[in-house]
Amino acid sequence: MIKKFLPLVALAVSGIATAAMPKAEGVVVHFGDLNLNSEAGVASLYKRIRNAAESVCSPLDYGILGLRGAYGDCVKEATNNGVAAVANPNLSQFHASKGKRVIVASN
């Protein structure tokens, strides 16, 4: 069985984030064990991507009011990039609905 993985790279989007964050850092998110035709599998992968994004962006999470926006932007962009890299319509729909319950249809 081929193990699927997703390199997740967070790129800082603001001047503050760029100055505060080291170059791009990557995290590999494995998902070969998940069934992306099931809601549970999609939700699990989304959680893994989100956790990886938070981990990669953690250098920006200082609890300083001025940097909270940079951290949030970084997590959002990294999550968007991770979901896009998987290119799975069920995951994309789940992401677009912000994790709300989605009915997965398959032929």
How would you write the pLDDT of the chain (107 residues) with one tens digit per residue?
A: 334 555 554 333 333 344 444 455 678 999 999 999 999 999 999 999 999 999 988 877 666 666 678 888 889 999 999 999 999 999 999 999 986 665 555 55
pTM > 0.85: yes or no: no
Q: What is the DSSP string of the chain?
A: -PPPEEEEEE---SHHHHHHS-S-EEEEEE-TTS-TTSHHHHHHHHHHHHHHHHHHHGGG----HHHHHHHHHHHHHHHHHHHHHHT-HHHHHHHHTTT--------
| Domain-wise residue ranges, the chain | 5-96
